[in-house]
Amino acid sequence: MAKLDETLTMLKDLTDAKGVPGNEREVREVMKKYIEPFADEVTTDNLGSLIAKKVGDENGPKIMVAGHLDEVGFMITQIDSKGFLRFQTVGGWWSQVMLAQRVTIVTSQGEVTGVIGSKPPHILPPEARKKPVDIKDMFIDIGASSREEVLEWGVKPGDMVVPHFEFTVMNNEKMLLAKAWDNRIGCAIAIDVLRNLKDASHPNVVYGVGTVQEEVGLRGARTAAAKIQPDIGFGVDVGITGDTPGVSDKEASSKMGEGPQIILYDASMVSHKGLRDFVTDTADEHNIPYQFDAIAGGGTDSGAIHLTANGVPALSITIATRYIHSHAAMLHRDDYENAVKLITEVIKKLDSDTVAKITFD
């Protein structure tokens, strides 16, 4: 592996951490370690979302920058008499990316390695072999010979299961491969925005937030925003990239390395026009590249943030990422760094008058 600089070390620590919805503690502790030096105060809400507060002007507007802590994974639901584990997906999975993949079960006694299995294709009828295996017909094999042995090893129903994959810098060192880019990259962006503002003046109060349970319905963003009561919200997440074989520009036009994505529309929110225009004007002013995208299905934490109280102008800014919701996803370091730069420059300009103008634009 290439030698890791300070940024890559942080990204490795964030993505290697384990945290499916409802089990984000390990990831929260990693994010807290990195964001605390740049915050005036770090708290959590009652669901476990991390909220790091940085005061510029205490009378200025409140700006929320949210990435979610959780990753898609699984939960153990049953243990059969032969020692095989049944599981529930936690977050969205495509069955074709799951079989024969290594997983880690996090128990109260430590970690246990397993592999996702199913009935061998060799004994299936020819027609059945052509179809993807249903998730309900899969199981996790940890090499146990009985239910008693599984329990002896500390595995029990309710335990978290995460994909096993180690952070990797590709031969093209701009390309970064890891599990859980969705959405540890958003957490990293929130950290680095506060880092950039540490010694900078900004006419507002900034909240760098790591939300919980985004993958099961934007739940932590709802409670964190209720606690913060922001005036402006940014959901920072991954987006779809269209630069792999077989994908047309009509289906997905974004390319890795060509800037962060400004989301115009998704299933959870119509982006706020005034805020969108302000962000793109700022990007143009500072020569920061960006791309537009619209996503018919899915949403980000912005969808929950913008419905807080009497409404919050919000925008999703995403990083074009390949192979999300699988064991290994890939993104481009330049897009990450440009997203940090863009959000930092936007925040520096968000004073009370500007926010009032954006809100009613």
Q: Which residues are catalytic?
A: 214
3-state secondary structure of 166: coil
Identify whether 172 is preceded by a cis peptide bond (ω within 30 of 0): no
Please check whether residue 66 is in contact with residue 301, taking contact to mean a CB–CB distance below 8 angstroms: yes
**Pairing relation of β-strands 232-240 and 62-68?**
parallel
Q: Say whether the peptide bond before residue 183 is cis (omega within 30 degrees of 0).
A: yes
Q: How far, in Å, are 55, 264, 274, 305 from residue 277 at the CA level?
A: 25, 11, 5, 19
CB 22 within 8 A of CB 193: no
Contact 21/13 with Cβ under 8 angstroms?
Answer: no
For the chain, the C-alpha Rg in angstroms (whole number) is 21
- At 15, which amino acid appears? T
Helix residue ranges, H only, 229-332: 273-285, 302-305
